[in-house]
Amino acid sequence: MRVVGIETEYGIVDPDEPRANPILMSSRLVTACRAWAGEATSRWDYGGEDPLQDQRGFRRSRLGASEDLLTDASEFDAAEGRVTLRRRRGSWEDPAHLNAVLANGARFYVDHAHPEYSGPEVTGAHDAVVWDRAGDAVALASAARYAEDEGSRVELYKNNVDGKGASYGTHENFLVDRAVAFDDLARRLTPHLVTRQVYTGAGRVGLGQFGEEPGFQMSQRADYMEAEIGLETTLRRPIVNTRDEPHAARDRYRRLHVIIGDANLFDVATFLKIGTTSLVLSAIEADDERLDALELATPVEDVQTVSRDLQLRARLELASGESATALEIQRALLEICRSYATDAGDAAVLARWEGVLERLGGDLFSAAREVEWVAKLQLLGRLRARHASEGHPDGLPWDDARLAAMDLQWSRLGDGWATRLADAGQVERLASDDEVAAATTRAPQDTRARLRGGIVAARPDLVDAAGWSTVVLDRETDHGHLEVVHLDEPAAARHPLLDALIGG
Amino acid sequence: MAQLNAQGQPYEDDAPEPEAPAPAAATASTDALDDLLAEIDGSLQVNAEQFVRSFVQKGGQ
């Protein structure tokens, strides 16, 4: 049972005012989210963040940052469950960095120029789907509230590119055993991250970062991956990101931050993205040397090769000198991962993984109910074909604006074409609408998200701020200070002090 | 339609592939898709180009 979580940056547009400021809109959307949440919301606790720590063991220098800005320094405390005291600070909030910590344990906030939903910690792929879709529901509810309060509209897009060169991320986080050497982890995980696109890709019209070449590819993010390994997330993005900010006990855990993935509107894609990667990480933690045979000779180039290989035939050169297709590498990973299934959830992942690879290897479109890029390609192909004529037997060319528009509108929350396709019964759902609706206000019960979400739901009046590994309480006490409750064990869903407050 | 490379051109070696996917495989759900396609097509006749041009985002993570 691995603790995982998904973060989604949404594209944001005012359809009536395309030049509207996205930071301002995002900020107002977070305000609207708070209004939607009623009392049950809290500020973000910036006390425990350490964004400059690198997984490879060194730190970035804190260029130009003055001491009083570095609020994280005094908070570190390895003792479990301890409550430390913190002096009160001013409560001014930067409007460009507004946050709402929600009753479902998630964080909804402004990241760069996008609204972002960082889902709560969950265990397992199914719950990842549930709380990921809950994020879409929260974002939509916030947009509805925005329309009421602001008198203007805002549309949200769950995609990763604008076709003009900009990319924004959907990140996965996996809790990993600290004992695994990071270089081994990166080397052994890379073949999976490069080839899993065949079922995690959301599909994209346009090739190249600016869509400068007409065509269709599997993945939204592939053209933005420019390095094998590194700390960056906005420039020269790496296949394996090295940010070492565990938001948990540093001596025991890493938080692997995966930035290569697409935003997905298909449940099966999200389910496999989390489920398969989690199992491969189990194989890595077990030091399974079978993984070494799959090492790629040129992984950065291969990301793009796989993304453009709609027939799934391209052979990738392995470090061993042999070659394999993406599907062959995925099948080999599947066989290795059979050794690491520990519960029914893992078994469901393996079964789905095997089935989808089988369908992709046979009639591609038999996977259209599960694999997002295949469904998008199918719909685009039919749209093109509607316009076939003697002069244009292929129908619409790939650089026709209608295809680009359809691609963008595919991902619009609420009424986008992917949603409409699902409403028409053409997309397999793994989580019910009821499950998702409940997850907008209820946290997962088997991680520390239960404590964060629970206290925000039950006693928001006592919460000064909350973060991934802290809840800061503001109670009437003798000492007059804020109390920082440390939640350094992500899988610990109980805490004596918080349980008492939530229960009573 | 399965036999496309990224440029939308058929692969040259498609024809002899015995297991090549048949377009008919996707016809099970044709009716539901047809209705949706007609709607998509209709909505895109109007302002596709302007829509694409005005969809501009700032880079994120």
Which string of DSSP letters, residue by residue, matches A127-195?
HHHHHHHHHHHHHHHHHHHHHHHHSS--EEE--SB-SSS-B--EEEEEEEETTS-HHHHHHHHHHHHHH
CB contact under 8 A, A167 and B25: no
In B, minimum Cα distance to A418 occurs at B36
Instruction: At A284, list the tokens.
Output: 């890595």
- Residue B46 has a pLDDT of 83
In B, minimum Cα distance to A410 occurs at B40
User: pLDDT (tens digit, 9 = 90+) per residue, A52-88?
Assistant: 556 665 554 444 333 333 334 333 333 445 678 887 7
d(CA A289, CA A283): 9
Task: Give me the half-sphere count of Cα atoms (radius 13 Å) on the Cβ side of residue A343.
Answer: 10
| Best CA proximity match to A116, nearest among A108, A125, A127 | A108
Backbone angles phi, psi at A484, to 5 degrees: -100, 115
| Best CA proximity match to A204, nearest among A416, A402, A407 | A407
ipTM > 0.90, yes or no? no
Instruction: At A474, list the tokens.
Output: 């503001």
Which residues from chain B sit within 8 angstroms of residue A11, using beta carbons?
55, 57
Task: Name the interface residues of B facing A (CB cutoff 8 Å).
Answer: 1-8, 11, 19, 21-22, 25-26, 29, 32-33, 35-37, 39-41, 44-45, 48-49, 51-52, 54-61
Percent of chain A with pLDDT over 90: 82
Residue B42 Cα, gap to closest chain A Cα (Å): 10
Angle formed at CA A268 by CA A263 and CA A270, multiple of 5 degrees: 35
In B, minimum Cα distance to A11 occurs at B57
Residue A493 Cα, gap to closest chain B Cα (Å): 30
Mean pLDDT over A396-423 rounds to 97
| pLDDT at residue B48 greater than cutoff 80 | yes
More confident residue, B17 or A38: A38
Which residues from chain A sit within 8 angstroms of residue B41, using beta carbons?
383, 386, 402
Angle formed at CA A107 by CA A103 and CA A113, multiple of 5 degrees: 145
| Best CA proximity match to A386, nearest among B14, B2, B35, B47 | B35
Task: Give the closest of A18, A308, A426 to B54, CB-based.
Answer: A18
User: pLDDT (tens digit, 9 = 90+) per residue, A296-346?
Assistant: 999 999 999 999 999 999 999 999 999 999 999 999 999 999 999 999 999
The average confidence (pLDDT) of chain A is 91
d(CA A480, CA A73): 22
Could you tell me which residues come within 8 angstroms of residue A156 by beta carbon, excluding any fewer than 6 positions away? Answer: A10, A11, A12, A13, A115, A139, A140, A143, A412, A413, A414
Instruction: At A286, list the tokens.
Output: 């077990």
Of A55-64, A198-207, A235-244, the range with the highest mean pLDDT is A198-207
Residue B60 Cα, gap to closest chain A Cα (Å): 4
d(CA A3, CA A120): 10
Least confidently predicted of A29-43, A83-97, A484-498? A83-97
CB contact under 8 A, B55 and A417: no
